[in-house]
Amino acid sequence: MQIHAGRYKGLRVKTVKNAPYRPTTSLVRKSLFDILKNISGKNMLDLFSGSGIIGFEALSRGAKTITFVDSSLRVNSLLKMNSILFKEEEINFFKNDVFKFLKSCDSFDYIFADPPYKFNEIDRLIPQAISCLNDDGIFILESSPQEYSISPYRVNEYGDTQLTFWKKN
């Protein structure tokens, strides 16, 4: 996978065969950052991090810090290996259950979550993620197209993938 823009444009992030995650497609990634616009100096939390491509793209585009949270040892090993390419950046790793992490996390400007498609606790995840946002922070959820118990302020669909946005006011 390749970084699309910013100071690390063109850099390749390693993935693994038969990975326990499905990386965000190039189109969806480009659209996400086009929507967010300027993320320079912001801090981002990447839940269910997988390949880490969202967080690494955010760093390339000027994010101040990225925090990766994934419960998989294999995923965390890959994230740490890829982070070597970004040695000048502030990157944090947590091998943890997302809900446990959210109970005691700092506040973030952006939180991105890409849970497994069969994840059945999205309605529990949304309010917990929103509670960890700074004022005017944005929670972005990548999923298959669906509706949620808490109304978002924006929804974008890309085939069988949906980006849903909630803002903390």
pLDDT digit of tens for each residue in the chain (169 aa)?
Answer: 899 999 999 999 988 776 656 778 889 999 999 999 999 999 999 999 988 999 999 999 999 999 999 999 988 999 999 999 998 889 999 999 999 999 988 899 999 999 987 888 999 999 999 999 999 999 999 998 888 889 999 999 999 999 999 999 8
Q: Where are the alpha helices (DSSP H) in 84-119?
A: 98-103
The predicted model scores a pTM of: 0.94
pLDDT of residue 27: 92
pLDDT of residue 95: 95
Gap between the Cα atoms of 128 and 47, Å rounded: 12
Q: Where are the domains of the chain?
A: 26-167
Name the fold adopted by 26-167: Rossmann fold (3.40.50)
pLDDT of residue 89: 86
Cα-to-chain-centroid distance, residue 24: 9
Q: Which residue has the tokens 């929804």?
A: 155
| Residue type (1 letter), 54 | I
Count of helix runs (H) and strand runs (E) in the chain: 5, 7
Question: Hey, is 62 helix, strand or coil?
Answer: coil
Non-local CB neighbours of 156 within 8 Å, separated by 6+ positions: 31, 35, 162, 163
Q: Which residue has the tokens 């810090």?
A: 65
Residue 139, φ and ψ in degrees, nearest 5: -105, 125
pLDDT of residue 25: 85
Residue 24: DSSP 8-state: P
pLDDT of residue 118: 81
pLDDT of residue 20: 56
**Other beta carbons within 10 Å of 84:** 7
